[in-house]
Structure 1
Amino acid sequence: YLKVIHYQDDNRFVHLRLGFLYYDLKNIAKATEHFQKAYDQGANNHQIIYYLGLLYGMQEDYKKAVELFEEIPIDNSPIATELIPSLASAYYQLGKEGKVKALLKKAVELYPNEEKIWEVRGSFYANQKDYEKGLEVIEEGLQYFPHNSNLQLHESILLDKLGRTDEALEKIQNLLKREPNNASALNFWGYTYLERGEQINQATEALEKAYQLDPESAYIIDSLGWAYFKQGKTQEALKLMLKANQDAPEEPIIQEHLAEIYLALGQLENAKEYFKKAYTNIKKIKKPSYRDKVDQARIKQRYLETKKL
């Protein structure tokens, strides 16, 4: 193909083929270059425009991604339901929350039977810390898809954020009856009981199972490490928590857990360092939920206590 393109630089089909090949090789810059040439030469069907927009998004050129995505009508394209989450994400990266709201509102009106759109809309409001609205959207989506596990998980998380933990646990238990190998649901169930100080052994078993199912999740690693700490397995807990912190270095709850483990091991300076990091990061939450406020108060107290030591 490289030999052909040397003589036929105006052959958009060869540019497209090279674009796909470079993408497979994870050379995003070269893939973008060839897709752009194909687009400039008239390869402008919706799928190609969408791919090109995705490539610019991968390089964090969200303005260019939006320009391309907006060429595709969301009410009259076979790829509309693929496009909408990507366009919403690009708007969000550009700080255009109003555009995201309008897009997703129109999207659920156009495609109420598309599960992914309900998930994206609910997640958007959750990210905005508007948990009430997020829950409202998720529950509306569940009217269309009562057995969608992602929507059910989001519902439980939002209920917990709003302080309605008993309801959240009831719903997650119903999900686990149907999907006993759902790693995220196992993590939510296990960690919630750890925080309550109840059913520690059963919670640990659930978290070990979640870890086996998804060993790369920083949040599952954190939960299991915290369970081991609660059981007195401090060295095992430290090993897991260091991995979780490496994978999610700005997460205040992981930093708090790491600080508590260091404190238990008598490593006071490390404990102080991580309590300070946890307190600094959790203060950044602009619209704290009920759960966030509980976490903020606890971390502040522990930070101030250890600061005096």
Structure 2
Amino acid sequence: MDAMRNAGVRPGAACTSTWFARVLGLATALILAAGCTPPGVPRKASGSDVAVPSPADPEAQAMSEVLAGEIAGQSGDLEQAMVHYLRAAELSDDPQLAARATRIAMFAGNPGDAAVRAAQRWLKLDPDSIEAHQTLALLYIRKGETDAAVEHLESVLRLYEGRKGHGYLAIAASLAKEKESGSALEAMRLLVERHAADSDAWQALGILALEAGSPRQALEAANRTLALDPDRTEALVLRADAYQALGDLDAAIRAMRQAVQAAPQDFDRRLRLGRLLVQAERYGQARKVFQALLKLRPNDETLLYTLGLLNLQARDLAQARRYFKRLADVGGQRRQEAWFYLGQIAEEQGKVHEALRWYRRIEPGEYFIEARGRMAELLARQGRLDEARAVLARAREQVSSTAEGVRLYLLEGQILRDAKRYEEGMALYNRALTEYPGNEDLLYARAIMAERLGRIDWAERDFKAILAADPDNAAALNALGYTLADHNLRLDEALEYIQKALQLTPDDPTVVDSLGWVYYRMGKPEVAERYLRKAYGLLQDPEIGGHLVEVLWKLGKRREAGNILRELLRAHPDNDALEALRRRLSL
């Protein structure tokens, strides 16, 4: 790769001055002249020969250094390119050449004397160059010479004289690019303190402070701006941004409301107020703000999308549908999202055929897999399992990535597992693993399917295949341990797997549940109770709850066991395992 291009300069074209163009022309002529005539053979003069300057001529020397610098840069040797360009800059009176030498020195990782020397030469040749002053300020900041940097920033202000506020904003924009943001911010602060009565200065400092990740300093600067100029409403926006960065959303909203009141026709401010209200979870107020904005821009995709989501959050499905339908009709970039949410709303309303119609429209992209998964599940619920599988099989033909292909296989496998068609599920996963050999997600899913069929040896083999590739896979450790415990097999070994999983994920309720269950299988119901209560407290899952009920029943705490089981059945009336437990305990 061309290092000179990476330095932001194109060989032979970056310096556009007449002198530099002439230098390159002369350099090319020298190369041609040297390359076409063998050493020692005199050339005949002709009227078309290029007059080559004397080596004593500074322009000729500069030309040679530029040529050497270009060749070094083309070869990727920026250090040598810098050396040659620095020499050329000292020989030439062209400020653009000095500017190029400065940039090469900076890109070569030489922010010290070489880059400063080149920039000083640049400034000497062009004393009114704003860019030269800004560059020297940055170089001095990097060297830790803040006072010297401030002097050059003062020069920038002088050169912007007559354009109120522009100088400070230009300085802030330049310093915002500096990696050493703390040092740059300190230089800006010193500059502003010299102009403490200027509200423009404080506003620019606040903007830079926010960019540099110093919201408290930004807030202070916004307040100083408003103290000097109470009518400066952009300082209210800065104050709101600072409060938001500090995490004080209430104060941010108050400040942004003030900014909106000061300029009620400012669309951007009202939009930002709406977003702040959403962030603060004041959804009702946010809806009013976005509805007012939509009157100004009826076909704005972002507004329609946001209002659709806000109404979904408020469970106003009719209104949400209206906004997403309008969004779909606009036909912009969010059309696919609109169709997806229209499908979800139809599902919520029990309109299965309408939901399928919306989902079917979605093309490969961000929402494609999920939409096809929803279609398959809806069809499966209607007993149309073959159609559901066909939807997912067609979808696999339309995707190209491994992740998408695997996910579609997993969705089909889940549908088969829910339908208790375990043999077909095993066949599906066998085929999938032929296509994606060694995929951990598919191995895990096949192991679960094998366990349903009572093929514990197969399940164990797949879990161990995962652990061979990833010994710290907590999910596989937990599943293997739980499978052994649930089938009363090698309980000490099962305990070791689960304990290791717990070390890796100490707050995972499914792992805590497995630990309680293995202790129950080992004949330690008191220990099991402690872990199962903790697991159920973390996650009111029917399987975890069922385990807790069984252990409490074993310990004679039958009233509590019955109460928990009844609560679980109310929440999960179609859970076969809970119903079987109720019958077994005669509750």
Q: CA contact under 8 A between 2:463 and 2:480: conserved in structure 1? A: yes
Q: Does 1:154 align with 2:154?
A: no
1:59-108 Cα deviation digits (max 9, x unpaired):
465634322112235xxx44544532233234445665343122123234
> What is the alpha-carbon distance in structure 2 between the residues aligned to residue 46 and residue 179 of structure 1?
41
Q: Report the CA distance between 1:301 and its aligned residue.
A: 9.5
> What is the alpha-carbon distance in structure 2 between the residues aligned to residue 126 and residue 91 of structure 1?
15
User: Larger Rg: 1 or 2?
Assistant: 2
> What is the alpha-carbon distance in structure 1 between the residues aligned to residue 308 and residue 505 of structure 2?
30
Paired residue type of 1:206: Y
Q: Does 1:186 align with 2:468?
A: no
Q: Does 1:136 align with 2:427?
A: yes
Q: Does 1:67 align with 2:349?
A: no
Paired residue type of 2:484: Y
Matches within 5 A, 1:1-309: 1=271, 2=290, 3-8=292-297, 10-16=298-304, 18-19=306-307, 22=310, 29=316, 33-43=322-332, 47-53=336-342, 55-56=344-345, 59=348, 63=352, 64-72=354-362, 77-78=364-365, 80-92=368-380, 96-111=384-399, 114-214=405-505, 218-230=509-521, 234-242=525-533, 244-245=535-536, 247-248=539-540, 250-251=542-543, 254-255=545-546, 257-270=547-560, 285=576, 303=585
Q: Secondary structure at the match of 2:495?
A: helix
Q: Report the CA distance between 1:164 and its aligned residue.
A: 1.2
Point out the more displaced range, 221-230 or 85-94. Answer: 85-94
> What is the alpha-carbon distance in structure 1 between the residues aligned to residue 300 and residue 388 of structure 2?
33
CA change 1:144–1:269 in 2 (3 A) is same
Q: CA contact under 8 A between 2:512 and 2:535: conserved in structure 1? A: yes
Q: Secondary structure at the match of 2:585?
A: helix
Q: Report the CA distance between 1:11 and its aligned residue.
A: 1.8
Point out the more displaced range, 115-124 or 173-182. Answer: 173-182
Give the TM-score, by structure 1 length: 0.72
Q: Secondary structure at the match of 1:210?
A: helix
**Percent identity between the aligned chains?**
24
Q: Report the CA distance between 1:268 and its aligned residue.
A: 3.9
> What is the alpha-carbon distance in structure 2 between the residues aligned to residue 235 and residue 213 of structure 1?
24
> What is the alpha-carbon distance in structure 2 between the residues aligned to residue 50 and residue 170 of structure 1?
43
Q: How many residues align?
A: 288
> What is the alpha-carbon distance in structure 1 between the residues aligned to residue 313 and residue 508 of structure 2?
23
Q: Secondary structure at the match of 2:556?
A: coil
Q: Report the CA distance between 1:138 and its aligned residue.
A: 0.9
CA change 1:202–1:276 in 2 (3 A) is same
Point out the more displaced range, 175-184 or 12-21. Answer: 12-21
> What is the alpha-carbon distance in structure 2 between the residues aligned to residue 21 and residue 49 of structure 1?
10
CA change 1:149–1:17 in 2 (3 A) is same
Paired residue type of 1:187: N
Give the TM-score, by structure 2 length: 0.41
Q: CA contact under 8 A between 2:484 and 2:490: conserved in structure 1? A: yes
Q: Secondary structure at the match of 1:70?
A: helix
Q: CA contact under 8 A between 2:413 and 2:428: conserved in structure 1? A: yes
Q: Secondary structure at the match of 1:163?
A: coil
Q: CA contact under 8 A between 1:218 and 1:248: conserved in structure 2? A: no
Paired residue type of 1:128: A
RMSD of the alignment, in Å? Answer: 4.1
Q: CA contact under 8 A between 1:19 and 1:32: conserved in structure 2? A: no
Q: CA contact under 8 A between 2:447 and 2:459: conserved in structure 1? A: yes
Q: CA contact under 8 A between 2:301 and 2:334: conserved in structure 1? A: no
> What is the alpha-carbon distance in structure 2 between the residues aligned to residue 118 and residue 170 of structure 1?
20
> What is the alpha-carbon distance in structure 2 between the residues aligned to residue 28 and residue 278 of structure 1?
25
Paired residue type of 1:210: A
Q: Secondary structure at the match of 2:454?
A: coil
Paired residue type of 2:422: Y
> What is the alpha-carbon distance in structure 2 between the residues aligned to residue 62 and residue 144 of structure 1?
36
Which runs of 5 or more residues in structure 2 are unaligned? Answer: 1-270, 272-289
1:131-164 Cα deviation digits (max 9, x unpaired):
0001111110111111221110111111121121
CA change 1:274–1:45 in 2 (3 A) is closer
Paired residue type of 1:11: N
1:182-206 Cα deviation digits (max 9, x unpaired):
2321122111222344443442232
CA change 1:300–1:102 in 2 (3 A) is same
> What is the alpha-carbon distance in structure 2 between the residues aligned to residue 188 and residue 209 of structure 1?
12
Greater relative contact order structure (CA < 8 Å, 6+ sep): 1
CA change 1:5–1:301 in 2 (3 A) is closer
